[in-house]
Amino acid sequence: MDILLWLVIIILFVLSIAGIFLPVLPDTLLLWGGFLLYHFFVADPGSGLPASFWWGMAVLSILLYGADLLTNMYFVKRYGGSKASSWAAALGIFLGIFVFPPFGMLIMPFVLVVLVELLLQKQPLERAVKAGVGSLVGFLGSAVVKVVLQVVMIIWFFIAAF
């Protein structure tokens, strides 16, 4: 039975990393599913994961949720976008999850940033597109950050479990 549970835990971890690129998969929730499955069904009673592990996972989970929004907003601004287009990028990520997954997370922020820069900020097309490219760089940057955070979480889990 333990082998089956360990297999499910590993599958949850793999799916959580896939969830970074497939937003229909709730990456952080899948990680937590693996942690909880181990804690309640695999670990010996009373000897599950320590409190420091749970606190650390809570902090890293918050960082995972903020990675998309913060990196996208940062790179849009860095590529010459306005504050309004930074918020448009964040809105685009949120809308893109539902409108056209998984590509919506790339397309919607780009389109919204370009539109905001063109229509609201009255910027030339070249500058608007440059800010839109910032949203793409932001998405890719956040993907890298999320992969690193998830790998750290998974390694920490195995260290705590053994």
In terms of phi and psi (left: phi > 0; alpha: psi -120 to 50; beta: otherwise), the region of 122 is left
pLDDT tens digits for 96-132?
A: 888 887 788 889 999 999 999 999 999 999 999 999 9
For the chain, the structural domain boundaries read: 2-161
Give CA separation, 80 vs 8, 38, 83, 99, 140, in Å: 45, 46, 10, 26, 18
Q: Give the integer Cα–Cα distance in Å for 20 and 39.
A: 24
pTM score: 0.81
pLDDT tens digits for 20-66?
A: 887 778 899 999 999 999 999 999 888 889 999 999 999 999 998 88
Residue 29's CB is within 10 A of a number of other CB atoms, namely 12
